[in-house]
Amino acid sequence: MNIVDTGAPGMTAETEVQSRSEALESATAAAGGNEPTARRTVGDVTVPNPVMSCRQVNVRYGDKHAIRNVSLDIAHNEVIAMIGPSGCGKSTFLRCLNRLNDTIPSAVVTGTITLDGQDVYEKRQDVVQLRARVGMVFQKPNPFPKSVYENVAYGPRIHGLAADRTELDEIVQTSLQRAGLWEEVKDRIEDAGTSLSGGQQQRLCIARTIAVGPEVILMDEPCSALDPIATARIEDLIDELKQNYAICIVTHSMQQAARVSQRTAYFHLGDLIEVGPTDLIFTNPRHRLTEDYITGRFG
């Protein structure tokens, strides 16, 4: 099925490309009109029974339009990778999902994002509760300058998840075990979290995130500060974690996206260009921009 671009000037090249590609029906097409410069997304953004669902999400930082009309579903127990050149809005999109953009005064988010059917930007939605359900792991390992134990115990403590010390000890231990860090740190649980190696710190941050039992884990380039061995460990971990969590990972490494994810979303200058099963995106991209990016022509 062919579509014609919404008709913004200067987009003939894309129009030509997109004429080769398949449009999606669903909600995206229905609300495409209010952002004239937005490009249509190629591929199916929807999944059955999604854990999170974003429709027509726009983010502006003052005059800068960082994300345009992005619609994307996140499925249970899957890893979805977001790739794209720097400044394309992947991280911004990620930070919409747990409303971390709220901390930037100039950021304005429109559109709807739902978690289990409930709008997360609704007034009634408590940000604290949302962030407990949608955890986040950052680019640079950022353990608190406290002990390993305190790092993991912090979330359960502020959310009151443990009734007593034994219960807390248990949460800390299982979280560290799930993050694959327990064997390495069980004898130095009272050491400073910052004294661990970079890869261990990042796994500590993952343990800290899963300690509050989230449904979705957002990972913003979690391996970009790590060496290949530590990266491999994190990737294995991500693979295990997807049994229990939905994981959104932003990455600059296409190999990483190919290794860990089941679906891939390609962002370009604030637009979600293409979404699809990872193996298809990497073997048979339908949009020219996607193809250019994954073949290394730019980015």
Partner 1 sequence: MNKPQAAGMPPSQQRIRERVERGLARRYRAERRFRAYGLMAALSGLLFVAFLFLSIISTGYTAFVQTYVRIDVRFDPELIDPEGNRSEEALRMGDYGGVLKQAIREQFPGVEGRRELRQLYNLVSEIAAFDLRDRVLDDPALVGQTREFWLIASDDIDQLVKGKIDRALAEEQRVVSDLQLGWLDALTRDDRVERRFNRVFFTAGDSREPEQAGVLGAIVGSFLTLLVTLLLSFPIGVAAAVYLEEFAPGNRFTDLIEVNINNLAAVPSIVFGLLGLAVFIQFFGVPRSAPLVGGLVLTLMTLPTIIIASRAAIKAVPPSIREAALGMGASQVQVVAHHVLPLAMPGMLTGAIIGMARALGESAPLLMIGMVAFIADIPASLTDPATVLPVQVFLWADSPERAFLERTSGAIIVLLAFLLVMNAAAVVLRHRFERRW
Residues of this chain that interact with partner 1 (CB under 8 A) are: 98, 100, 103, 105, 127-132, 135-136, 138, 140, 142-145, 154-155, 158-159, 194, 205, 208-209, 212
98 or 231: CB nearest partner 1: 98
11 or 127: CB nearest partner 1: 127
Residue 29 Cβ, how far from partner 1 at the closest point, in Å?
34
Q: What's the number of CA atoms in the CB half-sphere (13 Å) around residue 146? A: 9
7 or 160: CB nearest partner 1: 160
Residue 145 Cβ, how far from partner 1 at the closest point, in Å?
5
Residue 130 Cβ, how far from partner 1 at the closest point, in Å?
8
176 or 273: CB nearest partner 1: 176
Residue 131 Cβ, how far from partner 1 at the closest point, in Å?
4
25 or 116: CB nearest partner 1: 116
210 or 273: CB nearest partner 1: 210
Residue 48: which of 70, 23, 26, 32 has the closest Cα?
26
Contact 222, 202 (CB under 8 A): yes
| Distance in angstroms (rounded) separating the CA atoms of residues 253 and 257 | 6
Residue 146 Cβ, how far from partner 1 at the closest point, in Å?
9
Residue 162 Cβ, how far from partner 1 at the closest point, in Å?
15
Residue 89 Cβ, how far from partner 1 at the closest point, in Å?
18
220 or 274: CB nearest partner 1: 220
